[in-house]
């Protein structure tokens, strides 16, 4: 084969050399890929007594009827102020992972759960059928499937209902109308086909879509025919604040019937405490 520079080369010999190089690079790439995948694994860590009860169950799953997942600082702060502040809630598990934006332990044992984690599962002694999961870290795209399979896959599906509260910037909200027609913060919702209860806010208008962990959870529930609903709060603030937290108040009606007791009017001190803790965790210089 002649090139534009007059060089004559053998097509067959060049192809053989390139194939050999590709095979060598493929082996190295496969080893690197395995190491990266191992480092980026998602780990669900149950407390020791919970892990024992799961192992002793017939289907090896955690028994609960309602799973509430809060994704983001404001959604988690809302649950802390309005729900977790009432009654005695115990930590039953954590979800740990590592990626470029989430620096955390790769794995912990179920006998020694970390005291501070950005994804914690709680259960109330008086109402063990409801589990709350607060998730404030970033889950990368290649970890979303793992997260949903590890968490939702370990919980019984029969009779399970899932409620997701999610934070989102109002800059991502798409509308043909003036944004002042829906002053932020405001809620929009999406649900699975199995979810039959009344919705507490308008449906999310096209072409708006869910992304990240809320989308992964809703997709998992749709595939496995689990009733699930996502309430996404659009806010114009980057940091947690009490106004955005209170925007989730309509979702309380989904919880009050199950928990029996929620704090509809948390004190100013409780709200300040939640905001203050969130600000301390997100400080650029600490």
Question: Which one is predicted more confidently, 17 or 195?
Answer: 195
The domain tally of the chain equals 1
183 within a domain of the structure (yes/no): yes
Alpha helix (H) ranges present in 209-261? 212-223, 242-246, 252-259
pLDDT category at 81 given cuts 50, 70, 90 is confident
Contact 147, 71 (CB under 8 A): no
pLDDT at 261 (0 to 100): 66
Q: Which domain holds residue 138?
A: 39-281
Quick one: pLDDT at residue 87?
77
Q: Is residue 23 part of a domain?
A: no
CA-closest candidate to residue 166, choices 229, 105, 242: 229
Give the Cα-Cα-Cα angle 136, 142, 144 (nearest 5 degrees).
45
Q: Are 124 and 84 in contact (CB under 8 A)?
A: no
pLDDT at 149 over 80: yes
CATH number at residue 72: 3.40.50.10900
For residue 263, what pLDDT is reported? 67
Strand partners, 70: 134, 165
Least confident of 9-23, 70-84, 136-150: 9-23
Confidence band of 134 (pLDDT split at 50, 70, 90)? very high
pLDDT of residue 66: 93
Cα 62 to chain center, whole Å? 18
Judged against a pLDDT cut of 50, whether residue 142 lies above it is answered with yes
Residue percentage of the chain with pLDDT more than 70:
74
Question: Is residue 1 domain-resident?
Answer: no
Give the pLDDT confidence score for residue 204 in this predicted structure: 95
Structural domain includes residue 86: yes
Residue at 15 is within a domain: no
Residues 6+ apart with CB under 8 A from 121: 91, 92, 93, 94, 95, 131, 132, 133
- pLDDT, one tens digit per residue, over 89-116 is 899 999 999 988 887 655 544 444 444 4
The b-or-e profile of 180-211 (16+ CB within 10 A means b, else e) is eebebbbbbbbbbeebeeebbbeebeeebebe
Report, as an integer, the average pLDDT of 258-282: 63
183-219 pLDDT tens trace: 779 999 999 999 999 999 999 999 999 999 999 999 9
Within-domain flag for 19: no
In this structure, is residue 104 part of a structural domain?
yes
pLDDT-based confidence at 228, cuts 50/70/90?
very high
In this prediction, residue 254 carries a pLDDT of 75
Query: Cα–Cα distance between 75 and 47 in angstroms, integer?
Result: 24
Global pTM reads 0.81
Q: By mean pLDDT, which of 79-83, 88-92, 162-166, 261-265 is the weakest?
A: 261-265
Confidence bin at 256 (pLDDT 50/70/90): low
Whether the per-residue pLDDT at 237 is higher than 60: the answer is yes
14 occurs within a structural domain: no
pLDDT tens-place string over residues 46-67: 999 999 999 998 889 999 999 9
């Amino acid at each position: 084969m002649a090139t534009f520079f007059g060089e004559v080369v053998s097509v067959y010999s060049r192809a053989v050399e390139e194939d050999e190089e590709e095979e060598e690079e493929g082996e190295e790439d496969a080893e690197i890929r395995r190491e990266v995948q191992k480092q980026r694994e998602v780990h669900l860590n149950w407390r020791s007594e919970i892990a024992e009860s799961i192992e002793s169950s017939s289907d090896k799953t955690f028994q609960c009827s309602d799973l509430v997942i809060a994704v983001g600082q404001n959604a988690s702060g809302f649950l802390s102020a309005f729900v977790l502040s009432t009654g005695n809630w115990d930590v039953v598990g954590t979800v740990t992972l590592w990626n470029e934006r989430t620096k955390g332990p790769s794995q912990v044992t179920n006998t020694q759960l970390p005291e501070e984690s950005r994804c914690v599962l709680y259960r109330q002694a008086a109402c063990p059928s409801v589990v709350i999961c607060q998730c404030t870290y970033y889950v990368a795209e290649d970890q979303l499937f793992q997260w949903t399979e590890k968490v939702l896959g370990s919980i019984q599906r029969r009779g399970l209902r899932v409620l997701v509260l999610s934070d989102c910037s109002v800059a991502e909200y798409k509308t043909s109308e003036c944004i002042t027609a829906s002053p932020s913060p405001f809620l929009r919702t999406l649900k699975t086909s199995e979810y039959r209860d009344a919705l507490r806010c308008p449906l999310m208008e096209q072409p708006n879509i869910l992304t990240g962990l809320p989308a992964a959870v809703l997709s998992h529930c749709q595939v496995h025919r689990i009733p699930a609903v996502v309430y996404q709060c659009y806010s114009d603030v980057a940091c947690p604040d009490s106004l955005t937290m209170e925007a989730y108040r309509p979702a309380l009606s989904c919880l009050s019937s199950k928990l029996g007791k929620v704090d509809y009017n948390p004190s100013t001190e409780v709200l300040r405490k939640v905001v203050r803790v969130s600000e301390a965790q997100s400080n650029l210089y600490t």
